[in-house]
Chains A and B, each alone.
Chain A
Amino acid sequence: MLPAFAVLLAFQLIGESLARILHLGIPGPVIGLCLLAAACIVNHRLRDFTQKAAHPIISTLSLLFLPAAVGVVQFLPLLQSQGLALGVAIVVSTALTLAVTALVFRFVVHRMHLEERE
């Protein structure tokens, strides 16, 4: 698992370096994600190898957000002055975004007859 983990770190490192050199405004890990996806599509042996680290790390993905989420709780009182506007905006916008995205996705799949024939 650790050598596979090193591959993930290597791609993050390449991503971080490119983000800084090219001033892309996109974080290194997201660039690393794109590069590793491209590499794994071309090279199936690399894909199966990195799978050993990718699977366990993805299965505990929720855990990794705890430090940030705990930090956010400290900031919540600061939201009070704009609490109503922010609360309504986030709740309505999130529900609307979810519905629009999923329904548009389904609509296009249906129109193009892309449904799975399994």
Chain B
Amino acid sequence: MPNGAMQNVAQLWVYLSASPLLWLFATLAAYAIADRISAATNRHPLANPVLLATVPLAALLALTHTPYTTYFAGAQFVHFMLGPATVALAVPLAAEWGRVKRLAVPITIALFAGSLTAIFSAVGIAWALGAPHAVLASLAPKSVTTPIAMGIASMIGGLPSLTATLVVVTGILTAVIAGPLSRLLRMKDHAAHGFASGLAGHGIATASAYHDSRIAGIFAGLALALNGVLTSILAPLVMKLWS
């Protein structure tokens, strides 16, 4: 390539890599490819679309030395949609309200059992392995959706940015292991499988529960909302035991 053309390409890259357009496109393209692969493997748990799309995107940012803030200037349009998407979970939930009402007792008991298990087991294991108090407090709300979890963490002496990281890791892990674990437990009840997924792994696991079945997704969305509220009450109480 002649020198002038090289320079033009370099200039174009400087322009594009700083514009929201490139990174918005990269996010959508990575997702489209990841979702294709996930569908082609018949939604194999390890071919989770969030996991499959995150790895190449993060590698691309590292290779091109693109700061996260530059990436986020484009990706924020996708990120913004999380709010309305959370609200949208209400619609299929309302459509199945009869079933939810009929299962109100198992929902309530499983909610308390799961929420306490999530907090106690995470904090207890990390404590036994010698993690300091700030790390325990950051870990306590790991199963609930990021904004709630960060709010809880800052209230009980945790580090909100560490919590945000742990929440996403927990969500992806839940999405990956929920299906195989349900098969291991011979769990054929889509409501129970979905409810456990949403309770343990918030929105990321809810998204993958919707791939398993509509009912699993609806109960995951219900668990996400209920456990978000319950954990914000229980986590501060549980952490009092460790102070």
CB pair A112–B106 under 8 Å, yes or no, is yes
Cβ-neighbour of A94 out of B78, B88, B200, B221 (below 8 A)? B200
What DSSP secondary structure best describes chain A's contact surface?
helix
User: In the complex, A6 Cα to B55 Cα: how many Å?
Assistant: 33
User: In the complex, A91 Cα to B74 Cα: how many Å?
Assistant: 32
What DSSP secondary structure best describes chain B's contact surface?
helix
Interface residues in B18-59 by Cβ distance below 8 A to A read 27-28, 30-31, 35, 48-50, 53-55, 57-58
User: In the complex, A69 Cα to B61 Cα: how many Å?
Assistant: 13
- Supposing A47-B94, A73-B54 touch, asked if A65 and B117 sit within 8 A by C-beta, the answer is no
- What is the total of A-B residue contacts with beta carbons within 8 Å? 316
CB pair A102–B187 under 8 Å, yes or no, is yes
Which chain A residues lie closer than 8 Å to B81 at the CB level? 57, 64
Cβ-neighbour of A104 out of B71, B113, B206 (below 8 A)? B113
Interface residues in A1-41 by Cβ distance below 8 A to B read 5, 8-9, 11-12, 15, 25-30, 32-37, 40-41
User: In the complex, A75 Cα to B201 Cα: how many Å?
Assistant: 19
Which chain B residues lie closer than 8 Å to A105 at the CB level? 106-107, 109-110, 189, 191-192, 195-196
User: In the complex, A100 Cα to B164 Cα: how many Å?
Assistant: 24
Interface residues on A, range: 35 or more
Which chain B residues lie closer than 8 Å to A64 at the CB level? 78-79, 81-82, 85, 203
CB pair A37–B142 under 8 Å, yes or no, is no
Which chain B residues lie closer than 8 Å to A28 at the CB level? 83
Which chain A residues lie closer than 8 Å to B107 at the CB level? 105
Interface residues in B71-103 by Cβ distance below 8 A to A read 71-72, 75-76, 78-79, 81-95, 97, 102-103
User: In the complex, A26 Cα to B229 Cα: how many Å?
Assistant: 7
Q: Nearest Cβ distance between residue A113 and chain B, in whole angstroms?
A: 11
CB pair A85–B130 under 8 Å, yes or no, is yes
- Supposing A65-B82, A65-B207 touch, asked if A54 and B148 sit within 8 A by C-beta, the answer is no
CB pair B106–A102 under 8 Å, yes or no, is no
A65-B50, A90-B122 are known; give 7 further A-B pairs, CB within 8 A: A27-B145, A69-B168, A72-B169, A89-B131, A101-B117, A102-B185, A105-B107
A→B interface (CB under 8 Å): 5, 8-9, 11-12, 15, 25-30, 32-37, 40-41, 47, 50-51, 53-55, 57-76, 78-79, 82, 84-86, 88-106, 108-109, 112, 114
